[in-house]
Every structure is written in C-alpha cells, then in structure tokens.
C-alpha cells in the first residue's frame, strides 16, 4: 500500500538531527496526515522517512520565562484548541485549527506539519502571521529562530536548512498581550475542505476602548504564501473603531493581496471575499476587545 524505502525513528531532538544529517533526502513524518497520503498517491514513491512521532518533548503548550507562548511542533490541532493557555491568550488560533479537516485529522495532524508544508491554504498560517509568530528550528549548528514571514519562501517551500527540524512555534508576549482576534475561513463546504480564502484579524484597543492601538490582518490563499496586509493595518492604527473604519480597513487590503484564478475561485471573487471577511473579522475583533463603534 505504501512504497517506503526506509523508516527511521527518532526518540530525541538530537537523534532526529543526526538522522537528518545522515539521510539528507529523507522526509520528516509526524502525524502523517499529509505525507502518507502523498506516498499512497505515488508522489513520494520509494521515500525514506524519519519519524519524530515518538518525541513527546515536542508536544504541549507553555509560557516561557518571558511569557511568550511556546507551542511544541508535534502538538496536535485538538490539543491546541483545548489548551487553557491558548483559550486565555490567543483563542483565535484554537478556533482556526479547529477548522482543519475532521476530528480524526485534528487528532493526528500537527501544527509543525501544517506550517512546514509551506502551503498558503494552511488554516493555522494566517493566524500565526497575524500574531507575529516565530519559528524555532534546531539543527547541527544549534537553535535558530526566525519570524514566520521569513520562514515561508515561496509556494510549498520553507526555510528549513540541511539537518534541521522545526521544534516549536513561539507567540511573543508583545504580540498577544491585550489583543483579541477572529478567523474566517471561506470554503465550499463547512468541513473537510481546503480554504478558498482564510482571513485572520486581531486588534489591541486603548485602555478606554476608544482607539485602535494596533491592528493586524493576514491571509491564506491570497497569494502564493500566507501574507500580511500592512496597508490595511496602517489605515486602522490610531483610529476610533467604527463601521466606516471597518470599511476603509477592508478595502485597503486590495493594495497588498495577490489572489489568482483557480478552479476553486476566480481572482475577482477572492478579492471580493477578502474585503468582506476583513470587514467582518475586524468588527468581531473590536467586539471581543470590548470596543464600541463610533
């Protein structure tokens, strides 16, 4: 059923890095919800695999000494959704990954696999972009941390160097503190479907709730890789939340997104839903932050 040349099992980060160095052509496999499907389809026939599934040290969510949120790369989507740290500080990420596939996939699929695939439609990606996530990679030369915007290089390609594995995703305290967000996935079906477009927004309001101190918005499937709409973010910063601001914010995203025509949706339709989801997600984020519309 599966054309696999060899399977190596790593029990620690050090062993995984060693196996990566010894077998540079081998594919990392964790939950297998993507890799095994590709092998069965013949796309990776004769592949060598390095399984990191037994590495429990890469599972779980915690706050580090600087109160940054640390998500182990082998943490499954269900665990993220149900985790009390996620629910308290960045509930929108749990809501986003709860829209991946069905329950079986969410129980086995991992946040590391979702990001390392490098696909623009990954449900976690736009929210991680909107919250300034940092990717932690461990390799022969030690630990390397890079902003997620630099991690995605092009469609299907991420910045993982020879011998490296992704070990964690970090959400800086400065990015989540007093911020509230909302994610909207537009797809043909409500479940078991890839996003036609994904939009994630979060805002931080002033203490009196009358000013948008900071707004962030990111998209999946609005370009070859997930992307931020910085023009829209600048439009909202320092402004009083209102319906008019939501409209200006939403229309400004067209300056930064680059959707394409595909069998799932035409470019102009993706632009239309990009504007509408931006408006709705912005208004919901303001509501969650306790703001009132002027």
Give the span between the Cα atoms of 62 and 79, in whole angstroms. 12
Give the residues across from 228 on adjacent strands: 218
Give the span between the Cα atoms of 109 and 106, in whole angstroms. 5
CATH topology of domain 56-174: 3.30.465
Contacts of 265 (CB under 8 A, 6+ apart): 196, 197, 259, 273
Tokens of 166: 């992704």
The DSSP output letter for 76 is B
Question: What are the residue ranges spanned by the domains of the chain?
Answer: 4-51, 56-174, 179-288
Per CATH, 4-51 and 56-174 having the same topology is answered: no
Q: Give the range with max mean pLDDT: 23-32, 168-177, 183-192, 262-271.
A: 168-177
Total residues found in the chain within this entry: 294
The string of pLDDT tens digits covering residues 134-189 is: 999 999 999 999 999 999 999 999 999 999 999 999 999 999 999 999 999 998 87
The yes-or-no verdict on residue 1 having pLDDT over 70 is no
Supply the pLDDT for residue 134.
Answer: 98
| Predicted structure pTM score | 0.94
Give the span between the Cα atoms of 249 and 235, in whole angstroms. 6
Give the residues across from 205 on adjacent strands: 212
The yes-or-no verdict on residue 245 having pLDDT over 90 is yes
Supply the pLDDT for residue 260.
Answer: 86
Give the span between the Cα atoms of 283 and 77, in whole angstroms. 26
Nearest to 201 by CA among 210, 212, 187, 190: 212
Report, at the CATH architecture level, how domain 179-288 is classified: 2-Layer Sandwich (3.30)
CB 103 within 8 A of CB 78: yes
Q: Was domain 4-51 assigned CATH 3.30.43.10? A: yes
Q: How far apart are the first and last CA of the chain?
A: 61
Supply the pLDDT for residue 40.
Answer: 80
């Amino acid at each position: 059923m599966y054309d696999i040349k060899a399977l190596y099992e790593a029990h620690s980060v050090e062993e995984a890095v060693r196996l990566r160095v010894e077998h540079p052509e081998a594919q990392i496999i964790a939950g297998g919800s993507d890799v095994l499907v590709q092998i069965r389809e013949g796309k990776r026939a004769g592949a060598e695999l390095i399984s990191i599934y037994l590495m429990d040290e890469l599972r779980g969510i915690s706050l580090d000494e600087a109160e940054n949120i640390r998500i182990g790369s082998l943490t499954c989507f269900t665990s993220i959704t149900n985790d009390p740290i996620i629910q308290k500080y960045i509930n929108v990420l749990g809501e986003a990954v709860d829209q991946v596939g069905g329950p079986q996939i969410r129980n086995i699929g991992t946040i590391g696999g979702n990001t390392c695939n490098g696909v623009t439609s990954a449900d976690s990606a736009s929210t991680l972009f909107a919250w300034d996530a940092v990717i932690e990679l461990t390799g022969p030369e030690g630990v390397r941390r890079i902003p997620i915007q630099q991690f995605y290089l092009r469609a299907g390609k991420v910045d993982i160097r020879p011998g490296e594995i992704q070990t964690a995703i970090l959400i800086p305290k400065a990015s989540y503190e007093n911020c509230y967000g909302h994610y909207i996935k537009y797809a043909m079906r409500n479940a078991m479907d890839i996003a036609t477009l994904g939009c994630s927004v979060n805002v931080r309001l002033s203490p009196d709730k009358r000013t948008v101190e900071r707004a962030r918005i990111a998209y999946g499937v609005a370009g070859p890789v997930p992307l931020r709409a910085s023009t829209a973010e600048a439009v909202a910063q320092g402004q009083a939340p209102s319906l008019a601001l939501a409209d200006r914010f939403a229309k400004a995203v067209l300056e930064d997104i680059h959707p394409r025509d595909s069998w799932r949706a035409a470019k102009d339709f993706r632009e239309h839903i990009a504007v509408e989801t931006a408006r709705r997600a912005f208004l919901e984020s303001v509501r969650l932050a306790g703001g009132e519309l002027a």
